[in-house]
Amino acid sequence: MMTTISIVPESLSASHKRYRAVAGVRQSVGSTPGEALDTISAQMDDCENGTLLVIQHMRPDRFFTEAQRTRLANLMAQWRASRDLGEMFPVELQAELDQLVASELDAATQRSSALLNDSRP
């Protein structure tokens, strides 16, 4: 069974943040996303603890920039337009799109690793 856990930042003041993890009726807080995740994970049964999947909500960060996100969105719009018209998508644009998708996947992996490192004591 896969349990969805949402982790959101909460500002206590301009200089202090904490993070709230929510999974169904369970909640926890921590000073880092990893701490909040560890705390809520400890509340779960073994059958509820599964694979961790980190999804960035299409905001730029140090792993995937605004320029990369904008270019990916533009290429995807062009790809969809070509598909909808039944036209071939240009090979050079497909290669660029494939590279950006691979970069975004790599960014997700790096984000997950950073979150894991934040959760270690």
Domain match, 35 and 66 both = no
Q: Which residue has the tokens 């995807």?
A: 76
What is the arithmetic mean of pLDDT over 15-27? 81
Domain match, 66 and 111 both = yes
Domain match, 18 and 5 both = yes
Domain match, 35 and 70 both = no
> Using one digit for the tens of pLDDT, what is the confidence trace for 31-79?
888 888 889 888 887 776 665 555 555 678 898 899 998 998 899 899 9
The count of structural domains within the chain is 2
Domain termination residue (choose one: 14, 30, 53) = 53
The pTM assigned to this predicted structure is 0.54
Domain match, 10 and 37 both = yes
Domain match, 74 and 117 both = yes
Domain match, 66 and 118 both = yes
Q: Are 1 and 47 in contact (CB under 8 A)?
A: yes
Domain match, 43 and 63 both = no
Percentage above 70 pLDDT, the chain:
79
Domain match, 64 and 48 both = no
Q: Which of these, 104, 91, 16, lies nearest to 54 by C-alpha position?
A: 104
- Report the 10 Å Cβ neighbour count for 97: 19
Q: How far, in Å, CA of 31 to CA of 47, rounded?
A: 27
Domain match, 71 and 107 both = yes
Domain holding 20, by residue range, is 1-53
